[in-house]
Amino acid sequence: MRRPGTLVLLLLIAAAPAFAHQQEGQAAGFLNGLKHPVTGLDHVLAMVSVGMWGAQLGPPALWLLPVTFPLVMALGGFLGLLGVPLPGVEVAIGFSALLLGLMVAREARPPLWAAAALVGFFALFHGHAHGTELPVGESALLYSLGFVLATGGLHATGIGIGLVHRWGWGRVALRVTGAAVALAGCAFVWRAVW
Amino acid sequence: MSLARRHGPGATAAGAALLLLAPASAHAHLVTTGLGPLYDGIGHLLASPEDLVPVMAMALLAGLGGAPSGRWALFVLPLAWAAGGLAGYRVGAPSSPALLGAASFLALGILVAVGRSLSPGAVAGLAGVLGLLHGWLNGAGIAAAGREALALAGITAAVFVIMALVAGLVVSLRAPWTRIAVRVAGSWVAATGLLMLGWILSGRG
C-alpha cells in the first residue's frame, strides 16, 4: 500500500455517516460532547499548550504527552461522574494554563517522566471539572466519543502550531505564545481564588 | 479472597462475561435499509459505534502485532461474532450493551495505547471473546426485535471487511510516527471507555 494516509482519510470520511441513523437526540449527544472541551478558554489554552510543549520537546514526549492527557483526563472525568470530590479544581485548572504556558515560554526540558507527571496531574483536574459538568440523559458513548475527539483535536492543534519550532522565528513565536498563555493562566488563578 | 485467586483468571473472565451479559434493558436496534436483512446487518455495524469502534480497535491491535496476528484475528473475530450471534439469537435475552461497550473500549484501547505486541494466540483469544460477547448481544437484540437472523450474516461480513481493511493498513505502516498515531487512537478509545463507564456507574445515561 503506497499511500496509507489516503486510505485512512477515506475511512474516516466513510465512517462519518455512521452516526446519522442514531435514535433521536443521540447525534446531538455527539455534537455536545464535541463542543464541551472547546467552550472554556482555560481548558482550551491548557490543552493546546500540551501539544505545543510536546512539539518543542520532540519525540518521545511529542506522543507521550497527548497520550497521557486524555487517559488521565478520562480518569478525572470518571471520578467526577461518580461524585468523588477533588479539592481546588478551578485553581488547579488556572495553574495548569500558567505552568504549561511557562514551560512553553521557557522551552523547559525536564526529564520525560516529570513532563508526563505534570501533564497528567493537571489532566486529572480538567477531567474532574468536565466530569461533574456532563449533562444527564445524553448518550454516554456518543458524548464521550465527541468529548475525547475534541480534546485530541486541541492537542493536535497545539502540535500543529508547535511545528513552527523548526524555524528560528518560530521558536521565538512559540515562546511568546507560551508567555501569553501563562499570563492568561494568572488571570484564571486570580479569578478562581478571588 | 478474590475470585481470581481462588479460581484463576479464567473464572474471573467468565464472571465478567456473565455480568456483562446479565439481562437488562434492551437498547438493541437494527437499521432498516430497505434492501433486506443482509444489508440491514451491514448497516447496523457501520451505524453502531458501540460495535464498530471495538472492531476497529481490535483491528488496530491485531495490526500492531504484525501479519500473523492480523491473519488470526481476521478469521477468528467474524467466526466468533457469527457463533455468538447465532447462540444469542436462539437463547439469549436482550442485555445491556452499554456496559459491554465500555469494557471493550477500555480493554482494547489500553492494549493498543500500550503498544506491546501480543502473541498471535493471545490476539486470537481476545478476538474470540470480543466476537462472542458482541455477537451474542447482536443476536439477542435481533431476535427480540423480531428481525431475521440473516442480518447476522451481514454483520459478520462487515466485521470481516473492516478487520481486513484496518488491520491490513496497520500491518503495512512503516514510518514510526504512523504506529504512534495508532497508539494515540488507542488512548482515545480507552479514554472514551473510561468516561462511558463512569457515566453508566453514575446512572446519568
From the list A191, A20, A55, A46, the residue with the least C-alpha distance to A125 is A46
Q: Which residue in this structure is represented by grid cell 427480540? A: B144
The pLDDT tens digits of the residues spanning B21-44 come to: 444 433 445 667 667 788 888 888
Q: Residue A167 has what DSSP assignment?
A: S
Residue B187, in any domain of the structure: yes
What confidence score (pLDDT) does residue A14 get?
43
A:B CB pairs within 8 Å? 122
How far is the CA of A100 from the CAs of B76, B118, B148, in angstroms? 46, 36, 56
* Domain assignments of chain A as residue spans, ordered by start: 32-193
% residues pLDDT > 90 (chain B): 30
CB atoms within 10 A of CB B96: 19
Place of cell 460495535: B51
User: Which residue has 451491514 as its cell numbers?
Assistant: B42
For chain B, the 3-state helix, strand and coil shares in percent, each to the nearest 5, are 80, 0, 20
Q: How far apart are CA A96 and CA A49, in angstroms?
A: 9
Residue span of the structural domain in which B86 resides: 38-200
* Residue A22: per-residue pLDDT: 41
Region B9-23: mean pLDDT is: 46
C-alpha cell at B47: 451505524
Q: Is B30 helix (H, G, I), strand (E, B) or coil?
A: coil
pLDDT tens string A124-168: 998 888 888 777 666 777 888 888 888 888 888 999 999 898 888
Distances (CA, A) of A109 to A99, A182, B53: 13, 17, 36
Mean pLDDT of chain B: 80
What average pLDDT is seen over chain A?
81
C-alpha cell at B30: 437494527
**To probe the interface with A, which of B171, B192, B204 has the most A CB atoms within 10 Å?**
B192
> Do the Cβ atoms of A11 and B166 come within 8 Å?
yes
Kindly state whether A71 is in contact with chain B, defined as any CB-CB distance less than 8 angstroms: yes
Residues A134, B199: C-beta atoms closer than 8 Å: yes
Amino acid identity for residue A176 in this structure: V
pLDDT at A194: 76
- Does A21 contact chain B (CB < 8 Å)? yes
In angstroms, what separates the C-alpha of B31 from chain A's closest C-alpha? 7
Residue B178 grid coordinates: 504512523
CA atoms within a 13 Å half-sphere pointing along the CA-CB vector of B61: 35
Dihedral sign of CA atoms A1, B176, B192, A145 in order: negative
In degrees, to the nearest 5, what angle opens at C-alpha B92 toward C-alphas B89 and B98?
105
CA distance B202 to A80: 9
Q: Is B205 inside a domain boundary? A: no
Cell numbers found for residue A73: 483526563
> B157, B21 in Cβ contact below 8 A?
no
Model confidence at B73, pLDDT cuts 50, 70, 90, reads: very high
Alpha carbons B187 and B113: distance in angstroms, whole number = 5
Q: Residues B100, B101, B104, B106: is their CA dihedral positive or negative?
A: negative
Where residue B1 falls among pLDDT bands split at 50, 70, 90?
very low
Residues of B in contact with A10 (CB under 8 A): none
Grouped pLDDT means (10 residues each) for chain A, 194 residues: 51 40 56 81 90 87 80 89 86 91 92 90 88 72 84 89 89 93 91 82
Alpha-carbon distance A13 to nearest alpha carbon in chain B (angstroms): 12
pLDDT in tens, B76-104: 999 999 999 999 888 876 666 678 878 88
Instruction: Label residue A12 exposed, middle or buried (CB < 10 Å: 0-12, 13-18, 19+).
Output: exposed
pTM: 0.76
Cell 485530541, residue located: A152
Task: Name which of B170, B195, B200, B201 to mutate to probe chain A: the one with the most chain A Cβ atoms within 10 A of its Cβ.
Answer: B195
B176 secondary structure, DSSP code: H
Identity at A105, one-letter amino acid code:
A
**pLDDT confidence of residue B9:** 44
In chain B, how long is the greatest CA-to-CA distance?
Answer: 54
Cβ A173 vs Cβ B81: under 8 Å? no
pLDDT at B160: 95
Q: How high is the ipTM of this complex?
A: 0.73
Q: Is B196 on the interface with A (CB under 8 A)?
A: yes
Set of cell numbers at residue A129: 471539572
